[in-house]
Structure formats: C-alpha cells, structure tokens
C-alpha cells in the first residue's frame, strides 16, 4: 500500500526525460558526446556501517559515465545521462558479533545503473576553458550483493535459501554536479567532474533497506563535438 503513488512518480520522471530529449534532438545546437571514468564514493547510510542490515557498508569503487547533450541555446544544454558504479561491501566494520560470519556468506558487489535526463548550464566560458553546473533526474537500478544463506542471530547458518535483501531494487535519482572543461583541440576536450547522486523512493522487501543510496562521483573525462553548430 505504501507504493501506490510510485507509478505516478515514475511517469513524471519519464515525461521529463522524453521532453528533454525531444527538445534536444529537434533543436539546432552544438552536440557533445562525453565519456568519464573515476571513483564512486558512497555517502550517507549507503557508506555507513552503524547497522548490519540498515547500512550499506559500501566502499569507494569504480564510476563510469556517458552522456549525450546538445547546447539548445547559450548557455543551456540538455540531453541524456547514463552512469554505472561498482562498490564492494565491508560488513566487518560494524563490529557486530556475527559480522565476520555474515561477510563470509555475502558475495558480489553493488552494481548501480542510472538513466537520467540532463540539464547543463554553462557558468563561465572562453575559447579554451568552460565551467558548468549539472542537474539530472531519472531512474536507477540497483543490484545488491548476493546473500546465499538465511541469517538468524541465535541460529546456525544452515539454510541455503537467499535473504530478501538479495533482491534487485529500483529507485528514482536526482543529481547535482559541477564540471570544468579544457579544449585540447577544436573538437575534443578533457574535463574534471564532481557529481552528487541521491537515489530515493522505491521499496525493499526488508524495511531496513529503504534508505537513500547516495554517492559522490569524482571523474576525469573526454568529450567530442558532434557535427557543426
């Protein structure tokens, strides 16, 4: 019952993304393809280890991003953003007496895919150097670390069935970031980007897992101008 409003939220995000893409594709402006690589740093409860099941225990991992956007009018560009992050989980940091046993039956890592509409606002621009603010919103798909045995505080770990926490989750995402770009040639640039991404909503089958999944991306990138202005 708590999830009855979620299709409406999802529909709103979908409409926004389609609207942004429709305007961007149909407009006459300079297009860019931007590829980025760097670190995904967990924040908030996602990076905490204060609770065995209510924290993410996530470690700093790999972050990849790709985006296509078009400068529809100066200084605003809109487009589509995709990011992927890979973060391992360290349950031993909790200090909980069963944490070591629990960590031994958990395999894999968090694998997070984000698809968002993107708005870029240039705040400073010269022939070679540009700074921008970045706003994004869309949907996120989260694969949790795999748990192969049921956990009980007062029972031995003998069952081979999986915990409900082994589910794959879907959340909604809002992002805010900033980037700097230096043009190394007429059609190519290098960049440094910091992006804060906050994933919220959705619902886990385990209530303790219903925390926001927050990350800070620190990325180096390269972009390419596509076509002409």
Please count the structural domains in the chain. 1
Cβ-based neighbours of 86, under 8 Å, separated by 6 or more: 40, 61, 62, 109, 110, 111, 112
Instruction: Return d(Cα 137, Cα 116) in angstroms, integer.
Output: 5
- Other CB atoms within a 10 A radius of the CB of residue 106 amount to 21
Does the predicted model carry a pTM greater than 0.85? no
Q: Is 1 part of any domain?
A: no
pLDDT of amino acid 137: 87
User: In terms of DSSP bridges, do strands 168-183 and 129-143 run parallel, antiparallel, or are they unpaired?
Assistant: antiparallel
Residue 153 pLDDT level (bands cut at 50, 70, 90): very low
Residue 35 lies in domain: 6-226
Q: Is 172 part of any domain?
A: yes
> Diameter of the chain by CA atoms?
67
DSSP conformational letter for 98: T
Q: What is the CATH number of the domain that holds 83?
A: 2.40.160.20
For the chain, how big is the Rg over CA atoms in Å?
A: 20
What does the block give as tokens for 128? 């070679």
pLDDT of amino acid 40: 96
Does position 36 have pLDDT exceeding 90, yes or no? yes
Q: Is 135 part of any domain?
A: yes
Q: Is 87 part of any domain?
A: yes
Q: Is 163 part of any domain?
A: yes
- The per-residue pLDDT for range 88-139, each reduced to its tens digit, is 877 665 555 555 555 555 555 788 999 988 999 999 999 899 999 999 988 8
Q: Is 181 part of any domain?
A: yes
């Amino acid at each position: 019952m708590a999830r009855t409003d979620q299709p409406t939220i999802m529909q709103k995000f979908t409409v926004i993304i389609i609207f942004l893409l429709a305007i961007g594709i149909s407009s006459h402006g300079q297009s860019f393809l931007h590829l980025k690589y760097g670190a995904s740093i967990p924040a908030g409860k996602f990076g905490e280890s204060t609770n065995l099941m209510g924290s993410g225990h996530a470690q700093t991992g790999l972050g990849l991003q790709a985006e296509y956007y078009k400068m529809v009018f100066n200084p605003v560009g809109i487009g589509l953003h995709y990011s992927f992050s890979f973060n391992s989980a360290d349950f031993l940091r909790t200090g909980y007496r069963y944490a070591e046993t629990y960590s031994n039956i958990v395999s894999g890592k968090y694998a997070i895919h984000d698809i968002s509409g993107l708005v870029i606002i240039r705040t400073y621009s010269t022939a070679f150097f540009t700074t921008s603010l970045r706003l994004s919103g869309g949907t996120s798909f989260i694969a949790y670390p795999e748990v192969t045995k049921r956990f009980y505080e007062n029972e031995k770990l003998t069952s081979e069935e999986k915990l409900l926490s082994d589910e794959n989750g879907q959340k909604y995402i809002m992002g805010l970031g900033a980037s700097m770009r230096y043009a190394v040639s007429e059609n190519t640039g290098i960049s440094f980007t910091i992006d804060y991404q906050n994933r919220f909503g959705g619902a886990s089958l385990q209530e303790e897992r219903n925390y926001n999944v927050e990350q800070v991306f620190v990325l180096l990138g390269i972009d390419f101008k596509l076509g002409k202005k």
